[in-house]
Amino acid sequence: MTLTSRSSLSEVAGAVAGALADAGIRAVLTGGACATLYTRGAYQSADLDFVLQSAVTQTRLDAALAADGFSRRGDHYVHPQVRFLVEFPRGPLAIGSDSRIQPVVYRVRRHAVLALSPTDSVRDRLAAFYFWSDRQSLKTAVQIALRYPIDLGIVRAWSDAEGHGSEFEEFRTELQRARRRRSRR
Single pTM value for the model: 0.94
At residue 185, does pLDDT exceed 90? no
pLDDT of residue 134: 97
Say whether both 15 and 52 belong to one domain. yes
Question: Please, which pLDDT band fits residue 111 given cuts at 50, 70 and 90?
Answer: confident
Neighbouring residues of 127: CB distance < 8 A, sequence distance ≥ 6: 95, 96, 137, 162
Say whether both 33 and 82 belong to one domain. yes
> Is residue 130 one of the residues assigned to a domain?
yes
The mean of the pLDDT values for the chain is 96
Domain count along the chain: 2
> Is residue 2 one of the residues assigned to a domain?
no
CATH code for the domain of 56: 3.30.460
User: How confident is the model over 163-173, as pLDDT tens digits?
Assistant: 999 999 999 99
> Is residue 45 one of the residues assigned to a domain?
yes
Least confidently predicted of 35-39, 107-111, 152-156, 176-180:
107-111
Whole-number percent of the chain with pLDDT over 90:
94
Say whether both 28 and 90 belong to one domain. yes
User: How confident is the model over 122-159, as pLDDT tens digits?
Assistant: 999 999 999 999 999 999 999 999 999 999 999 999 99
Last residue of one domain, picked from the residues 84, 99, 115: 115
